[in-house]
Amino acid sequence: MAIAPTAEQIKDLVDRAPEGNLYMLNLLKFKDKAEYADGRETTLTGADAYALYGQGVTKLIAELGGRLVWNGRPNTLVIGEGELAWDAVAIVEYPSIEAFQKMTASPDYEALHVHREAGLAHQLLINCLSHEQLMAGLGGR
């Protein structure tokens, strides 16, 4: 299960990033118990470890002019079949693709990333277009 983008996915994001704000939909599945790559012992759950990452990264996003738009936990499957596959859902707004790239390349982000890796079992990260961006791409139709 993936928790990091491939080089091709990063290239696609950069090539297709809209003008202006960048909206990222996060679908998150946590490990039952956090597992740190350095082998440290921990009593943290995956959700606990990810929360450490989330607290720090939220500050980094705000410093760049972005924000956490919404987050929550899936509750009930209303349409479709199967189990709810995600433990948490979030939408994050960055002021631009450049701000997103600056954050993910920063030493502060790298220091927090260890908690993300320890806590996540799987993630989908989806760049979404706002209504305004979609309409601009359609020529205002």
Q: 72-105 pLDDT, tens per residue?
A: 999 999 999 988 899 999 999 999 999 999 999 9
Residue 140 lies in a domain: no
Domain extent at residue 30: 17-123
Residue 11 lies in a domain: no
Report d(CA 11, CA 121) in Å as an integer. 24
- How many domains in the chain? 1
Please indicate, yes or no, if residue 106 is contained in any of the structural domains.
yes
pLDDT band at 141 (very low <50, low <70, confident <90, very high): very low
pLDDT digits (tens, 9 = 90+) for 7-55: 999 999 999 999 999 999 999 999 999 999 999 999 999 999 999 999 9
**pLDDT for position 9:** 95
Residues 66, 95: Cα–Cα separation, whole Å:
6
Residue 130 domain-assigned (yes or no): no
CATH number at residue 28: 3.30.70.100
Note if the pTM is more than 0.95.
no
What pLDDT sits at residue 1?
73
